[in-house]
Amino acid sequence: MSLPNQLSILRILLAPLFLFLFLSEDQLYKELSIVVFLLAVFTDWYDGWHARKFGLVSKLGIFIDPLADKILTSAAFIGFYFMGFMPIWMVLITVVRDLIITILRSYHEIKGITMKTSFIAKTKTFIQMTYIFSIVLLIGIQTYSENIEVKNSINDFLFSNVNYLLMLLVTLLTLITGITYFFEKNNAVNSLNEIS
């Protein structure tokens, strides 16, 4: 198995570890969750760079890399829900959408139809990761800081209308990319039928 695929599997394994540490009441565990998340994000960047640089793009990689991203983002959103500032319906839209797309991708791979990740899907993943990274970073600062004003300011932001609108934007983008996938899938199937 190539290094990029190994890193994708590592990212899948890091996701539940991150969630466990992130939701822990233990100060050290919560601090470690930030490190685990940063490591997972690094593997996401590095496996893509490594695969392109050394020509190690494979069908398994095309499937497992976005799957690892989805598992990591889902873990983060579930963590945000349990922390009380992300509504359950937003979490469900994201997790269910990702589950459906993953199942469909697997089915199409079996049928010999490779669905490459579209630009808009990559943009969605980037925005998701940027948002999640920012929130995890803020919670990390809140965890490390001994300044009560800083802690309160971050807490106020997490439960603010601004953060709600940001979460709504990410959720809607996730939903839209899920819908566009079906159109892309139909086009790919039609093209394959024409060739056949």
Q: What is the pLDDT of residues 33-43, one digit of tens each?
A: 989 998 998 99
Could you tell me how far CA 81 lies from the centroid of its own chain? 15
pLDDT at 163 over 60: yes
pTM: 0.85
Name the residue with higher pLDDT: 157 or 111: 157
Q: Which residues fall within 8 angstroms of residue 81, CB to CB, at 6 or more apart?
A: 87, 88, 91
pLDDT at 191 over 60: no
Fold classified for 3-195: Four Helix Bundle (Hemerythrin (Met), subunit A) (1.20.120)
Averaged pLDDT of the chain: 85
Q: Is 113 exposed, middle or buried (0-12, 13-18, 19+ CB in 10 A)?
A: middle
